[in-house]
Chains A and B, each alone.
Chain A
Amino acid sequence: MQEVMQIRKYDHARQAEVFNCDEPRVDWHDQTLWLVRQKRDKAAWGIPEWERLRESASQIKADTLSHLHEYLLQFEQNAKENGVVVHWAETGEEHNEIVHAIIARHGVKRIVKSKSMLTEECHLNGYLAEHGIKVVDTDLGEHIVQLAKELPSHIVLPCIHWKREEIGELFHKHFGTPEGVSDPETLVHAARVHLRDVFLSSRVALTGVNFAVAETGEIVICTNEGNADLGVQLANVHIASMGIEKLIPRRKDLGIFLRLLARSATGQPITTYSSHYKRPDKGREMHIVLVDNGRSERLGSDDFRSALKCIRCGACFNTCPVYRRSGGHSYHSVIAGPIGSILAPAWDIHRNSDLPFASTLCGSCTNVCPVKIDIHNQLYKWRQRIVKEGQVSKKKKLGMRSLALVLSYTLIISIVGLMARYIMRVLPFVLNNRLNPWYRRREMPDPPRQSFTRWYELNRKG
């Protein structure tokens, strides 16, 4: 492997360290997200059948994946019969070309877009900008990060890393709100007024897709702000981009997924709007772009297939002790958090080889996942693959080898243990210094007086 690995630009641990310089801010970030996790718990516990719902959703998605070929054909046929134009894109680039061609045909220079992680994955905004088309992100959080020329740091709460005072400053600059105003109500109102004009004058609207129903050819889009609906209903052309894994077999399956989605995401019983788009309005166009971009490859992997079940609720972010304390941008990937860490290595194993290590493997992500993806197992499996493919630094490789050696032989582990206990007691500064990453921002525990083996020998009864 190239030496570049040693000084890589994208490194979660290093970026997290930068994020951690401002300790009060990290605490605030951590607590804000934990609050969302608690809301999720409260909502979930209000549903006696919650665990069975999760199981059922997981099964429906498993069924979808094992019949994806049939469901895709069924969906395409029904959508076409509904008057929708269906496009297929093998890669992100092809997706961008298709979207651009539709926009260009209508001679439009500016479009509105509601939240779509897929278009982030395809880097659509940049592509369209290169072709002279401006994309206005209409979800408030996405709009804020767009004004700041940043990427979302969370898939559901895009600007969770921003403080109200900073947003106030940003809005002062862009919308002319009075300086020093940071009251959320005033700020939201300013954005509303500004974006209303944009909505009313946009002829092409782009959206993501939460669910696509094979049986009926309809797509379902969920928002709280109503921005997807406003965009689509006021425009002449609706382009919906979706990964091929967004399918569900039947309309009635929505009765399971819509019960899980918002509760898992924010603790709401349901999003304010759950809109079912079946046919375009009279005289208008509706396009659906089905995107593969590596999904059909992942489908063939027994280890990583189930990540395709993801409904993008973000629950795994909010519960993750590493995400909460390192911030979304340290993941340097369009989807951060635990789910992003198992998706991103498949997109680029070299660039994203650090992400599966951005976890304690505590398994909390798996426990809250509404479709029961075994996220922590996949993080572990990615680590194994990454090491096998030589995508880790020499330092880490050496460390792991040494640890493997120590842990493989009883004699070595007892000698090392003895030495460590002695050093920690007599010469604590040998371990308690800045060179030891475990010492940074932590207090080291008091050394145990004896090894566990010894303790067990002394305390075993009978």
Chain B
Amino acid sequence: MRSRENILDRVKAHQPSSTVEERSVPHLIFDNRVEAFKSVLTQIGGTVIELKSIDTLSEFLCDSFGELARIISPQLDPLSSGKHKGGRCIPPVAVLRGRLGVAESGSVWLTEDNMMERSLPFVCEHLVLVLESDSIVSNLAEAYAKIGDSDYEFGTFIAGPSKTADIEQSLVLGAHGPKSLTVCLV
């Protein structure tokens, strides 16, 4: 505990007096948030699909990923098998619900209560996020205003598939995490 006290004492002795006045920043606003979201996410390697209704989700998944047995999702009862838990097998496709979308960065906010298991959005080979178009905000400042002081345990913004440009700045999708991200707008 000595270190704690020493650090805190030094910080207290050395921190300067405050001279800061807060100024607010006007953040970028989009007239058509859905279009902006689609455009940005597509540019960073994601795919955006507009579904007519949530009922067509299974059909879309079947068309895109073949047999549903490969898909794990709390959204698709009774497909949400317990296989993933503990077993550490790698699910080919995970379908999860996003809480809100951010147009300027093409990102989707999700929290642990929609993840089944926290590792799922990162460990799956392909990630599908279901998002209500109405939940898309213009920018991150609006996103945090919506998130407010909500009490999640773990939350993350996901913007596109996992990627790297570490080899000569050549972009490669599917670094360690999902090789693709599809956002289904409903």
Residues of A within 8 A of B (CB): 32, 35-36, 47-49, 52-53, 55-56, 59, 62-63, 65-69, 72-73, 88-90, 94, 138-141, 144, 157-160, 162-164, 167, 184-185, 187-189, 192, 195-196, 199-200, 216, 224-227, 229-230, 233-234, 244, 251-252, 254-256, 258-259, 266, 268-279, 281, 290, 292, 296-297, 299-300, 302, 305
Interface residues on B, range: 35 or more
Among the listed stretches B57-65, B70-78, B91-99, B170-178, which one makes contact with chain A, having 4 or more residues with CB under 8 Å of it?
Answer: B170-178
Is the Cβ of A299 less than 8 Å from the Cβ of B22?
A: no
When distances are taken between beta carbons in the complex, the residues of chain B under 8 Å from A90 are 3, 6-7
* B117, closest chain A residue (CB): A233
Identify which of A48, A53, A230, A278 contacts B154 (C-beta below 8 A). Answer: A278
If the complex has contacts A69-B8, A90-B6, are A140 and B169 also in contact, measured as CB distance less than 8 A?
no
Residues of B within 8 A of A (CB): 3-4, 6-8, 10-28, 40, 44, 88, 90, 102, 104-107, 112, 117-119, 121-123, 139-145, 147, 149, 152-170, 172, 174-178
Is the Cβ of A224 less than 8 Å from the Cβ of B164?
A: yes
When distances are taken between beta carbons in the complex, the residues of chain A under 8 Å from B7 are 72, 88, 90, 244, 290, 292, 296
CA A299 to CA B23, docked complex, whole Å: 24
CA A266 to CA B25, docked complex, whole Å: 23
A-B residue pairs, 8 tightest by C-beta: A226-B177, A300-B14, A233-B119, A141-B166, A225-B175, A296-B10, A255-B141, A270-B105
CA A195 to CA B14, docked complex, whole Å: 44
When distances are taken between beta carbons in the complex, the residues of chain A under 8 Å from B6 are 90
When distances are taken between beta carbons in the complex, the residues of chain B under 8 Å from A296 are 7, 10-11, 14
Is the Cβ of B172 less than 8 Å from the Cβ of A188?
A: yes
CA A281 to CA B112, docked complex, whole Å: 9
CA A227 to CA B178, docked complex, whole Å: 11
- Interface of chain A, helix or strand or loop or mixed? helix
CA A259 to CA B156, docked complex, whole Å: 15
Identify which of A36, A48, A195, A256 contacts B28 (C-beta below 8 A). Answer: A48
Is the Cβ of A188 less than 8 Å from the Cβ of B174?
A: yes
Identify which of A32, A189, A277 contacts B168 (C-beta below 8 A). Answer: A32
Q: How close is A455's CB to chain B, nearest CB, in angstroms?
A: 46
When distances are taken between beta carbons in the complex, the residues of chain A under 8 Å from B163 are 224-225, 272
Is the Cβ of A73 less than 8 Å from the Cβ of B25?
A: no
Is the Cβ of B19 less than 8 Å from the Cβ of A195?
A: no
Is the Cβ of B164 less than 8 Å from the Cβ of A63?
A: no
CA A49 to CA B4, docked complex, whole Å: 40
CA A144 to CA B175, docked complex, whole Å: 14
* A278, closest chain B residue (CB): B153
Other than A269-B159, A270-B140, A272-B44, give 16 A-B pairs with Cβ distance below 8 A.
A52-B26, A88-B4, A138-B176, A158-B166, A162-B167, A188-B164, A225-B162, A225-B163, A226-B177, A254-B140, A275-B156, A275-B157, A281-B112, A296-B14, A297-B10, A299-B14
Is the Cβ of A36 less than 8 Å from the Cβ of B169?
A: yes
If the complex has contacts A90-B3, A187-B167, A230-B119, are A270 and B11 also in contact, measured as CB distance less than 8 A?
no
When distances are taken between beta carbons in the complex, the residues of chain B under 8 Å from A73 are 8
CA A73 to CA B9, docked complex, whole Å: 12
CA A65 to CA B118, docked complex, whole Å: 34
Identify which of A32, A55, A65, A229 contacts B122 (C-beta below 8 A). Answer: A229
